[in-house]
Amino acid sequence: MNKLSKIGALILFLLALASGYSQGRPARERIKTLKVAFITERLSLSSSEAQAFWPIYNAHEENLESLKRKERREIRSKLIDFENLSEREADALLQQSMTLEKEKHRLNMIFMGDIQEVLSAKKTFLLIKAEEDFKKRLLREIQQRRRGN
């Protein structure tokens, strides 16, 4: 891909992302689609790699999202009234939080093991970098939209 087409792809990415934010819930799906495209481009997956990679990646993302929902439901919702928590309640929430963090770590370790069977070590690091870069772009776009730019 030449430099001009990369710039064009980036502009299309940002425009699609910006329009997605103005539409609420469907924006979540739009962001997910953009993330898939972003990762696919960054990793330059072959068709056989993509066929093996995406089911593992999507299952991992679903597992993490489920864990995040559980955290919001069971912990963060109770922290809204933090000032009125007893020490015992706070301790119980802290223990729950630690348990969820351990589970997140366990899921990540399983994911990395599964991904190693599909991608090279270099592409695995490219995946980690691509996810970080996507988050940075997403946050930058949100900040710019909030400023009205």
The structural domains of the chain, with segments of one domain joined by +, span 1-43+130-149, 46-118
| Position 24 confidence tier, pLDDT thresholds 50, 70, 90 | low
Amino acid type, 37: A
This prediction's pTM:
0.74
Q: Which residues of 18-34 are buried (b: 16+ CB within 10 A; e: fewer)?
A: eebeeeeeeeeebbeeb
pLDDT at 149: 61
Is 92 a residue whose pLDDT tops 50?
yes
Residue 35 and residue 48: Cα distance in Å, rounded? Answer: 20
Is 15 a residue whose pLDDT tops 70?
no
Is 11 a residue whose pLDDT tops 70?
no
